[in-house]
A and B are shown apart, each in its own frame.
Chain A
Amino acid sequence: MTFLLFAEQMLNGLQFGIMLFLMAAGLTLVFGVMGLINLAHGSLYMIGAFAAAAVAGATGSFVLALIASLAAAAAAGALIELTVIRRLYKRDHLDQVLATFALILILSEGTRWVFGSFPLYLDVPGYLSGPVTLPGGIQYPLYRLAIIVAGLVVAVGLFALIARTRIGIQIRAGEADREMIAALGIDISRLYTLIFALGAALAGLAGALVGAIQSVQVGMGESVLILAFVVIVIGGIGSIKGALVGALLVGMTDTMGGVLLPRFFALFLDPTAATAVGASLGSMLIYIMMAVVLIMRPSGLYGSA
C-alpha cells in the first residue's frame, strides 16, 4: 500500500469520525443530562438533510441550506421535546425506546407525505466541489476537507459552550444532579428543551453536510444512528470529550479496517475469498472494539462510573 493511499484513507477516517461526532454529541448530551434514550435522533438528521435540500432547491444557496437545516432540526427537536419527550423523563428506558421508535415511524412517513418517496437532490456547491492537491501530492475532495474543518469548529465551540458559559455550567450541573439544580432555581424544563434543540440542530447540520455527498432519502438516519450509539457507548455516556474520541476511533477503525483486512487476508487466501472475509470482518470491527472497551472499562472511555 502506497503512502498516498494510506494518507487518503486516514483523511477519510478522520472525516467519517467528525461526521459521527456531530451526531453523537447531541445523543450523548441528551442521554447524559436527561437520562433519555432518543432513537429518533436519526430522524432529526433526516429532517436537516431534507430542509437543506428543499432550501437549496428553492434558493440555490448552500449557506442558506445549512442555516435552514440547523433551524428546521432545532425547531423539530424543540417541538418533539415539548409534546412527547417531556412526558418520558420519569418513565423507564423501555417506554422511552418505544415512544421514540414510534417517533421514527411518524417522522419518516410524515417526510414522505411532504417530499414524496423519491430521493431529493442536494449537491456540493461549486466553490467546494472537485479535488485539491494537498502537500505530499495527496488528491482529496475539497468538500470533505470542509466537513473536517466545520466539524472541528463545532467541536471547539461545543467545548467552549460547556466549559465557559453559564448554560454550560447548568448542563454540567444537570448531568451531576438533576434535582439539585432545580432546587437552585434554574428552570429545568427550559434547560431540557434547549439541550434537546441543540442536539437536534447538530444532527440536522450533520444530515445537511452529508446529504450533499450522499442521498437525501427517507430512512437515511437509521444506519447512522446505530453508529452514533456505538460511539457514545465507547466514549462514555454523557461525555462530549468521550463522544469526540469515540467518534474518531470508530471512524478510523471502520475505514482502515475495511481497507486493510482484505489485504491482510489476501496474503494467505485466494482474492475472492479474501475480499469477502475481509469485508465481513471489517464491518464487524467496530462492534468488536465496542465489546473490548466495555470489558476493559464498563462505563466507556470517559464515562463517570
Chain B
Amino acid sequence: MKLTKLAMLATTAMLAAGAAMADGKVKVGIITTLSGGGAGLGIDARDGFMLALKLSGSDAVEVVIEDDQQKPEIAVQLADKMIQAENVDVLTGIIWSNLAMAVVPSAVAQDKIYLSVNAGPSALAGKGCHPNYFNVAWQNDNLHEAAGAHATKAGYAKTFILAPNYPAGTDALTGFKRFYKGELAGEIYTKLGQTDYAAEIAQIRASGADSVFFFLPGGMGISFMKQYADSGVGLPVVGPAFSFDQGILQAVGAAALGVVNTSQWGKDLDNAANQTFVAAFQQEYGRLPSLYASQGYDTANLLLSAIGKADIADKDAFRAALKEADFASTRGDFKFGTNNHPVQDIYVREVIQEGDIFTNKIIGVALQDHVDAYAAECKM
C-alpha cells in the first residue's frame, strides 16, 4: 500500500517534471521540400538537422516538420499554421530562394527567429536584412563568386557561362562575373527546368571558348553533364557545388569525373566535427552526406549552442547567443558577419571516384574569409 502510494507520487512528480520540461522546450518548425523533383535537397537538409539533435542527446528541442512541395503558396500557408497554431519559436528548412522570399520577411516581422539552411537571396542579405534572420549556409552569390575566382586563378581567358533564366540564375552569373577577370565567350540563359541542352552545347562548341561555367541545380545539371560529356566538346568545366553534390553525382556517373566545383563544405574537410558528422550520417542513413545535409547539421548545432546560453523567451539574449555562433561547425571556423550571413572559406573540390562511389575531394581554397557583396548595405 505504502509502496503503491510512493510509486504514484513518484510518477506524478515525474509527469510534472516532464510537463515543465515541455514548457521549457524550444519549438522548431521545419518547412522543407520532401516531395517532387527537388525532394532530395530537403530530405538531406532535414536528415542532417535531425542527426545533430539525435547526437546531442538533448531533449530541449521539439520539432514539427512539413513538406512545402517546392511551392511558395504552400510554404506561406505552412508558415502561418506553424506560427499561429503550433506557436513555434524558430523556423527553418526552406531550400529555395523564391520560397524563402515568400516566408521569411513576414515570419521575422512576427518576431520569430528564422535560420536558413540553404536559401540566401541577396534581398535578405542587403537592405532587407533583419536581426531575426540568420543564414547558416551562404549568400546565394558566394559559391559562384568562388567559381569566378577559381577560373581566373586557373588562367581561363574565354569562359562560356550559362544559368537558368530566373532570379537565382541571374545572381549566379552576376556572382561569377564579379570575380572573373577574363572575357566571356558567350552568356546564355536557359529555361528553368530545361532537360535538353543540345542547342546550348552546339553554341559552346562553335564559340571558341576555353572553359565552361554553369549553374544548373538538381536534375538540370545531371542532364547537362551527361549530354556535355557525350558531345565530345571536352572543355574544362567549373561550377558551384549544387550540380555536383552527393545526391546527384551517382546519376551523372563518370561524366562528372575531374570537374572542378566550389563549395563551403566537403566531406574530407579535416576537423573533428566534420569527421563525426560524416561517419554518423553514413551510419544513420546508409549514404554519404551532401552539402545540404552539412548545412542542416550546422543549423541544428547552432540552435543547440544558443539554447545552451540563453532562454528563448529573452529574444535579445537569444539573438546575441546565435550571433556568437559558438558551435563546432562541419566547416571548421564559422562566424557571422554584420548581416548575420556567414563569413567563411570557400573551397575548390574535384569530382573523384572512390570504389563505386563518385564523390568530391577538396583541392584548394578559392576565397578566404569571404564576406558577401551585400553586407555593407545592411543597416541593423
Residues of A near any B CB (own CB < 8 A): 1-2, 4-5, 8-9, 12, 15-16, 108-109, 112, 117-121, 123-124, 129-131, 139, 141, 143-144, 210, 212-220, 223-224, 255, 258-259, 262, 271-272, 275-276, 279-280, 283
A-binding segment of B127-135, B223-231, B309-317, B323-331: B223-231
**B35 proximity list for chain A (CB < 8 A):** 108-109, 112
Q: List which B180-200 residues lie within 8 A (CB) of chain A.
A: 187-191, 193, 195-196, 198-199
Minimal Cβ-Cβ distance residue in A for B234 = A131
A259 to B227, CA, bound (A): 18
Is B247 an interface residue when CB atoms closer than 8 A count as contact?
yes
Q: Taking beta carbons and an 8 Å cutoff, which residues of B are in contact with A? A: 35-37, 39-40, 43, 165, 170, 187-191, 193, 195-196, 198-199, 202-203, 205-206, 218-220, 222-223, 226-227, 230-232, 247-248, 250-255
Contact yes or no, A123 B187, CB < 8 A: no
A4 CA to B218 CA, complexed, in Å: 31
Residues of A within 8 A of B188 (CB): 262, 275, 279
Pairwise interchain contact B187-A272, C-beta atoms closer than 8 A:
yes
Chain B residue contacts of A5, Cβ below 8 A: 202-203, 205-206
A219 to B170, CA, bound (A): 25
Would you list 8 pairs from A and B whose C-beta atoms are within 8 A, ordered by A residue? A112-B35, A119-B250, A124-B226, A214-B219, A215-B226, A224-B195, A275-B189, A279-B191
CB A79 to nearest CB in B, in angstroms, measures 23
A141 CB contacts on chain B under 8 angstroms? 198, 227, 230-232
Is there an interface contact between A130 and B232, defined as CB atoms closer than 8 Å? Answer: yes
Given contacts A141-B232, A272-B187, A279-B190, contact A119 B222 (CB under 8 A): yes
Contacts of A216 in B (CB 8 A): 251
Compute how far the CA of A214 lies from the CA of B253 in the bound complex, rounded to whole angstroms. Answer: 12
Q: Are A12 and B222 in contact (CB under 8 A)?
A: no
* A121-B251 contact, Cβ under 8 Å, with A213-B223, A275-B187: yes
- Decide yes or no: A120 and B203 within 8 Å by CB, A214-B219, A279-B188 being known contacts: no
What is the bound-complex CA distance between A272 and B35, given in angstroms?
Answer: 35
Considering the chains assembled together, what is the distance between the CA atoms of A2 and B189 in angstroms? 21
A280 to B170 CA separation, bound complex (whole angstroms): 13
Nearest chain A residue, comparing its CB with the CB of B70: A219
Chain A residue nearest in CB terms to B196: A16
Q: Please name all residues of chain A whose beta carbon is closer than 8 Å to the beta carbon of B195 when the two chains form the complex.
A: 210, 214-215, 220, 223-224
When distances are taken between beta carbons in the complex, the residues of chain A under 8 Å from B223 are 213-215
